[in-house]
Amino acid sequence: MKEYVSDLYDKIKGESSGLGNLLAKVPGLGGYMERGRRREADQILRDTISGHLEASRLTLSSVHQELGRDIIKAMDFAEPLGRADNMLMGLIGKIKDAPQGYAGFFDAVKVKEDDLARLYAFDESMLNHVDEVDASIEALQTAVRDDGDINSTIRRLTTVLQTANQDFANRNEVLMGIN
């Protein structure tokens, strides 16, 4: 996942048109255009992360269905799986609806240049969380299929989702100037 988006900003920056390059030479306008590219990269990154997490949620749903074939297991694990699913759904919604990582000229929330590096670090951590969510769901899938320790794998998934949600909340604090 990280390889896919690691060069995202550089790719967008490299796709500047001839007119864009000319306008970038106008004093003050170059920085504005640079911010626009950063906003575009941030939006694409968040769309990519949320899309991947939505696919993970579908996998979690299929695990839940597979678990439902055994009525006793289905009843035992319905609540913790439902909580995990709600946490994943909430994280996806937060990522989709979050303010962009760089505020435009007229936006109410302004993000300082020095905060951008911190935002990029948060975004990188979110990519790591995507991989951890996938690994946790895969482990759960294996536990259900092989009659393994389902309780532990659900707890692991829940912990990963709690951490991802907290990290995303920290990102928003930087955007809002709280942190």
Three-state helix/strand/coil letters over 25-74: CCCCHHHHHHHHHHHHHHHHHHHHHHHHHHHHHHHHHHHHHHHCCCHHHH
Residue with tokens 């604090």: 173
Query: Does residue 8 lie in a domain region?
Result: no
Cβ–Cβ < 8 Å for 56, 134: yes
> How does residue 161 score in pLDDT terms, banded at 50, 70 and 90?
very high
Cβ–Cβ < 8 Å for 46, 91: no
pTM for this predicted structure? 0.74
Residue 114 CB neighbours (<10 A): 7
Q: Which of the listed ranges 6-20, 65-79, 95-109, 130-144 does the model predict with the highest average pLDDT?
A: 130-144
Does residue 107 carry a pLDDT above 60?
no
Q: Does 5 or 149 have the greater pLDDT score? A: 149
User: What is the per-residue pLDDT across 35-94, written as a single tens digit (0 to 9) for each?
Assistant: 666 677 777 888 889 999 999 999 999 999 998 888 888 899 999 999 999 999 999 999
- What the block records as the tokens of 94 is 């937060």
Q: Determine the Cα–Cα distance for residues 150 and 77; give it in Å rounded to an integer.
A: 8
Task: Please report, rounded to a whole number, the percentage of residues in the chain having pLDDT higher than 90.
Answer: 41
> How does residue 8 score in pLDDT terms, banded at 50, 70 and 90?
low
Query: Does residue 164 lie in a domain region?
Result: yes
Residue at 121: amino acid letter: A
Q: Determine the Cα–Cα distance for residues 6 and 125; give it in Å rounded to an integer.
A: 12
User: What is the per-residue pLDDT across 124-135, written as a single tens digit (0 to 9) for each?
Assistant: 888 899 999 999
Query: Does residue 111 lie in a domain region?
Result: yes
Query: Does residue 81 lie in a domain region?
Result: yes
Specify the number of domains making up the chain: 1
**Residue 88 is part of a domain; what is its CATH number?**
1.20.930
Structural domain harbouring 76: 47-175
Query: Does residue 23 lie in a domain region?
Result: no
